[in-house]
Amino acid sequence: MQRVLFVCLGNICRSPTAQGVFQRLVEEAGLEGQIEVESAGTSAYHIGQPPDSRSIATASARGYDLSSIRAQQVIEADFLHYDLLLAMDGENLRALQQMAPVQHRNKVELFLNYGSCNRHEVPDPYYGGENGFEEVVDLVEDAARGLLNKLRDTQ
């Protein structure tokens, strides 16, 4: 089993989108029993809440169901449980690196390291317009495909 945790700030926009998109790719590849997919936030702001309604709507229009996800905060045990903790931007990458026990720090990476479009961060769409939410799905779909290929190669 390979275990992946997607991480953003609030766990209501970017990381639940990544969870929903990657979960579907994993299912389409028939790898549900081999790859575990979850998401969490570095902040406690939205614990227990469903994803932002704009994220749910944008993802739904593109075939992804985020409605059953509930926000949770990253905890120290996550660094033991997961094999990869993938941050949506540099701020959350640094937060994870600071939290991580030294021996697990190499599990923390930028999610877009797996993307093909020479971008490094999934921009926070929370205070912006609808376009930001579409851009999140575009960037996440691209990196999710790269991530699946990488995990397949290392199985």
Give residues in contact with ligand 4NP (CB under 6 A).
Answer: 8-14, 45, 124, 126
Two tokens at 44? Answer: 């406690």
**Catalytic: which of 13, 14, 52, 89?**
14
Q: Catalytic annotation on 117?
A: no
Closest CA to 8 of 51, 66, 59, 62: 51
Size of the chain, expressed as the number of residues it contains: 155
99 contacts 77 by C-beta, under 8 angstroms? no
DSSP E strands, 30-150: 35-41, 84-87, 108-110
C-beta of 11 vs 72, nearer to ligand 4NP: 11
Q: What are the CA-CA distances from residue 89 to residues 25, 70, 154 (Å)? A: 22, 21, 25
Q: Minimum Å distance from CB 136 to ligand 4NP?
A: 8
C-beta of 57 vs 80, nearer to ligand 4NP: 57
Q: Catalytic annotation on 152?
A: no
Residue least distant from ligand 4NP (Cβ): 10
C-beta of 2 vs 49, nearer to ligand 4NP: 49
26 contacts 37 by C-beta, under 8 angstroms? yes
Q: Minimum Å distance from CB 83 to ligand 4NP?
A: 22
Q: Minimum Å distance from CB 12 to ligand 4NP?
A: 4
C-beta of 2 vs 73, nearer to ligand 4NP: 73
Q: How many CA atoms lie within 13 A of 150 on its CB side?
A: 16
Q: Minimum Å distance from CB 76 to ligand 4NP?
A: 20
Q: Catalytic annotation on 8?
A: yes
Catalytic residues: 8, 14, 124
